[in-house]
Amino acid sequence: DAGITQSPRHKVTETGTPVTLRCHQTENHRYMYWYRQDPGHGLRLIHYSYGVKDTDKGEVSDGYSVSRSKTEDFLLTLESATSSQTSVYFCAISADRDVGELFFGEGSRLTVL
Amino acid sequence: SQQGEEDPQALSIQEGENATMNCSYKTSINNLQWYRQNSGRGLVHLILIRSNEREKHSGRLRVTLDTSKKSSSLLITASRAADTASYFCATRAAVNKLTFGGGTRVLVKP
């Protein structure tokens, strides 16, 4: 199994509070992704990174920011959580941007009350 | 918006039977991938088929791709209870853009 660790795995928070999810990889893969999974929507890309300090937006980036200061860590921040951000968040990594199968973490379940 | 749409949304079969699910997509692709997700777990890559390939096999999995119809199918032969999971197709139309469908939930009854 690819070495991908997400933390926390479960979090309950209140509307308006900041939340940071962490993804840590031990594979030294260049590309890292944050997806959210919601019933009826499949997986949707939030942000991705193609190197240290290099990030770009996905299709549902509003309300989210990311940072990547080291190859192994990719952080997803919700500056002010809203109930619509209640979801399961998955981190994924890839060694190859052009073909690239993705390796997924186990997910972080976030509930915003 | 979802690039890939799986059909059916849910499938229930007996152990030993074959399971077939389909994926349709909208734009030209570089490759199409299938993933499995067990309940409460992350997605696991199953198989990748490139746009210039028509069929690919991996163990009990058979994937076909028809680029003229913008569709793919995943066949699981001789299904087992352990195949119970959700299956997702994902299309790569551009660099760093892997777009997932809504998935097919498969239940294999012993």
Confidence of residue B7 (pLDDT cuts 50, 70, 90): confident
Residue B96 carries which side chain, given as an amino acid letter?
N
B99 touching chain A per CB within 8 A: yes
- CA–CA gap between residue A85 and residue A91 (Å, rounded): 16
CA separation, residue B31 to residues A51, B43, B73, B75 (Å): 23, 18, 13, 18
Q: Does A24 touch chain B (CB under 8 A)?
A: no
How far B79 CA lies from chain A's nearest CA (Å)? 23
The rounded distance, in Å, linking the Cα atoms of B32 and B51 is 7
Q: Tell me whether residues A41 and B102 touch, CB distance under 8 A.
A: yes
Q: Give the count of domains, chain B.
A: 1
CB contact (8 A) between residue A101 and residue B95: no
For residue B83, the domain's CATH number is 2.60.40.10
- Contact list in B for residue A31 (CB cut-off 8 A) is 96
The dihedrals phi and psi of B78, each to the nearest 5 degrees, come to 45, 60
Give residue A1's pLDDT. 61
Q: Any chain B CB within 8 A of the CB of A103?
A: yes
- For residue B36, what is the nearest residue in chain A, using CA coordinates? A104
> pLDDT tens digits, residue range B45-102?
999 999 999 999 999 999 999 999 999 999 999 999 999 999 999 998 776 678 898 8
Q: What is the per-residue pLDDT across B11-49, written as a single tens digit (0 to 9) for each?
A: 999 999 999 999 999 989 999 999 999 999 999 999 999
- Tens digits of per-residue pLDDT, A42-89? 899 999 999 999 999 999 999 999 999 999 999 999 999 999 999 999
Spatial contact of B107 and B80, defined as CB atoms under 8 Å apart: no
B88 CB within 8 Å of a chain A CB: yes
Q: Residue A42 is nearest to which of B40, B44, B101, comparing CB atoms? A: B101
Instruction: Look at residue B1 in the predicted model and tell me its pLDDT.
Output: 44
pLDDT attached to residue A39? 85
Q: Are residues B34 and B100 in contact, defined by beta-carbon separation less than 8 angstroms?
A: no
User: B1 vs A59: CB contact, 8 Å cut-off?
Assistant: yes
Residues of chain B with Cβ-Cβ distance to A41 below 8 Å are: 2, 102
* Chain B: closest CA distance from residue A97 (Å): 6
Domains of chain A are 4-112 (2.60.40.10)
For residue B53, give its domain range: 5-109
Q: B41–A45: do the CB atoms touch at under 8 Å?
A: no
